[in-house]
Amino acid sequence: MRTTVSDDGIETVLPSPPGELVQLLDPEGNRVSDPLYDPYVADVTGDQLASLYEDLVIVRRLDVEATALQRQGQLGLWPPLLGQEAAQVGSARTLRPDDFVFSSYRENAVAYCRGVRLPDIVKVWRGTAQSGWDPHTVNMATPAIVIGAQTLHAVGYAVGCLRDGVDSATITYFGDGATTQGDVNEALVFAASFHAPVVFFCQNNQWAISEPVGLQAQRPIAERAPGFGIPSIRVDGNDVLAVIAATRRALERAHGGEGPTFIEAVTYRMGPHTTSDDPTRYVDPLQREEWAAKDPIGRVEAHLRERGVLTEALAASIADRANEVAAEFRAGCVALENPAPLSVFDNVYAEPHAPLARQRSQQAAYLRSIGEVAE
């Protein structure tokens, strides 16, 4: 690990050689020391790690439940996060309540950590609404489906924080595939130009649907940001501790007025792209197996058992808790009601719009004419 300070005094955090990852827990659960990042997790107690472990278990359990709900027709679609639990939980748990999140569609564990109500997470996937929650209640925006669009929103929000004189940070999540989109690159330029307190959190899960990351990037993704004037960190995305350390470092910069930071969390999408996808068409099972050995939950479990924090009893209670949350999730999901016919006209505009009101009224007349209840 090397820290370089460039000629204009901007600290650029570049792993050296470029392939090197920040890792604090190896796949076997051993604590690896890293002089630069150790201090960022020095205060994390065994109990706190156990609580993170619980989060990891729960979000995986929820993910499995959601896939089951989709199979049973309760959801239209679901994008599993299997394999990416540590990247999401580690980063999201590091945020302050007043920090703001702009995510993509797969960050359901981030939503969970932000305190989004369970059924609200799946409204979109069940198809009862275009988004699940009021962003201002949890400081997390409605996920963006158009790849990369949200990264610019994050920069705008972060600049708004600067203008408002608050030290809140903004974090934006996106995938490896997203790094190709013009919007994401423009976001890097704008963030650098305005010294925006924003964290670019790229989950490099090796795939954009069927396309391997090698089609999108010829160099490790973390190497892209420094050329824009943004320091970057390449972190083992399956290592919750390392993700916390990297995110803390980036947030420290953001909260401290030092501008944007780019994090590449190297992970793997263990499931299909979505429940509609058939990864057997393109995923090499051997590659998947290699990554299975780097499971983000297994290593925390091993580590905690080794430290004696995770007892059988605690493990069982966490498993129970996960099942409980999943049951609650399922119940909340199936209880979500279908939208009323005329609701399609709601919230198009914030201010009165006569022609649309007229169209709505005509449709109400039509619904009455065919004997349907309109509202």
Partner 1 sequence: MTELTLAKAITSGLRRALADDDRVVLLGEDIGTLGGVFRVTDGLQREFGADRVMDMPLAESGIIGMAVGLAYRGFRPVVEIQFDGFIYPAFDQIVAQVAKMHYRTGGAVRMPITIRVPFGGGIGAVEHHSESPEAYFAHTAGLRVVTCSTPQDAHTMIRQAIACDDPVLFFEPKRRYWTKGEVDEDATYPFDRARVVLEGTDVTIVAYGPLVATAIDAAIAAGDDGVSVEVVDLRSLSPLDLDTVEASVSKTGRLVITHEAQQFGGLGAELAASITDRCFLHLEAAPARVTGFDTPYPSARAEEHFLPDLDRILDAVDRVLGRANALTGWSDS
Ligand X SMILES: Cc1ncc(C[n+]2csc(CCOP(=O)(O)OP(=O)(O)O)c2C)c(N)n1
Q: What is the rounded distance in angstroms from the CA atom of residue 371 to the CA atom of residue 342?
A: 14
Nearest Cα neighbor of 268 from 172, 180, 204, 179 is: 204
User: Is 153 designated active site?
Assistant: no
Bridge partner list, 198:
170
CA angle in degrees (0–180, nearest 5) for 54-57-62: 120
Taking the least distance from each CB to a copy of itself, the nearer of 102 and 133 is: 102
Q: Is 9 in the site for a copy of itself (CB under 8 A)?
A: no
* Residue placing its CB nearer to partner 1 in the complex, 205 or 216: 216
What does the alpha-carbon distance between residue 238 and residue 84 come to, in Å, rounded to a whole number? 7
Taking CB under 6 A as the criterion, the residue among 166, 189, 209, 331 binding ligand X is 209
Residue 269 annotated in active site: yes
Is 239 strand, coil or helix?
coil
How far apart are CB 189 and ligand X at their closest, in Å?
13
> Measured from the CB of residue 208, what is the shortest distance to ligand X in angstroms?
3
Instruction: Judge whether 248 and 94 are in contact, CB under 8 Å.
Output: yes
The yes-or-no answer on residue 273 being catalytic is: yes
Residues 27 and 294: their CA atoms lie apart, in Å, by: 5
Give the nearest residue (CB) to ligand X: 175
The reply to whether omega before 17 is within 30° of 0 (cis) is yes
Q: Binding string to partner 1 for residues 343 to 372, with x set by CB under 8 A, is what?
A: xxxxxxxxx-xxxx-xxxxxx-xx-xxx--
Which residue from 217, 218, 210, 214 is spatially nearest to 283, judged by alpha carbons?
Answer: 210
Whether residue 30 contacts residue 303, with contact meaning beta carbons closer than 8 Å, is answered with: yes
Q: Which of 282, 307, 358, 368 is catalytic?
A: 282
Residues within window 199-238 making contact with a copy of itself, judged by CB under 8 A: 215-219, 223-230
Question: Hunting for tokens 């050296």 — which residue is that?
Answer: 16
Q: For the CB of residue 3, give the shortest distance to partner 1 in the complex, in Å.
A: 28
Report the residue from 185, 255, 279, 319 that binds a copy of itself according to the rule CB under 8 A: 185
Question: Cβ 5 to Mg ion, closest distance in Å?
Answer: 29
Q: Under rule CB under 8 A, which residues in 57-86 are in contact with partner 1? A: 76-77
Evaluate whether 276 touches 120 at the Cβ level (below 8 Å).
no
Q: What is the CA radius of gyration of the chain?
A: 22
- Picking from 158, 187, 117, the residue whose alpha carbon sits closest to that of residue 251 is 158
Residue 19 lies near a copy of itself (rule: CB under 8 A): yes
Binding to Mg ion in span 179-208, by CB under 5 A: 205, 207-208
Binding residue for ligand X, selected from 205, 232, 261, 275, defined by CB under 6 A:
205
Selected binder of Mg ion within 55, 65, 176, 223 (CB under 5 A): 176
Q: Which two tokens stand for residue 87?
A: 């990247």
Give the three-class secondary structure for 94.
coil
Choose which of 124, 221, 263, 304 interacts with partner 1 (CB under 8 A).
124
The contact mask relative to ligand X for 216-245 (x = CB under 6 A, - = no) is ------------------------------
User: How many residues sit close enough to Mg ion to count as binding (CB under 5 A)?
Assistant: 6
Residue 167's Cβ-side half-sphere holds a number of Cα atoms within 13 Å equal to 9
Six-digit token string for 258: 């030092």
Answer for the pair 172, 187: CB distance below 8 angstroms, yes or no: yes
Write the interaction track for partner 1 spanning residues 282-301; mark x where CB under 8 A is met and - where it is not.
Answer: x-------------------
Q: Which of 145, 293, 316, 331 binds partner 1 (CB under 8 A)?
A: 145
Burial (CB count <10 Å: 0-12, 13-18, 19+), residue 78: buried
CB 284 within 8 A of CB 214: no
Catalytic residue among 126, 234, 273, 299, which?
273
Among 2, 72, 146, 372, indicate the residue that binds ligand X (CB under 6 A). 146
Enumerate binding residues for Mg ion (CB under 5 A): 175-177, 205, 207-208
Where on the chain is the footprint of a copy of itself (CB under 8 A)?
6-7, 10, 17-19, 179-183, 185-186, 189, 192-193, 215-219, 223-230
Active-site residue numbers? Answer: 269, 273, 282
**Binding footprint of ligand X on the chain (CB under 6 A):** 106, 145-147, 175-178, 205, 207-209, 269, 273
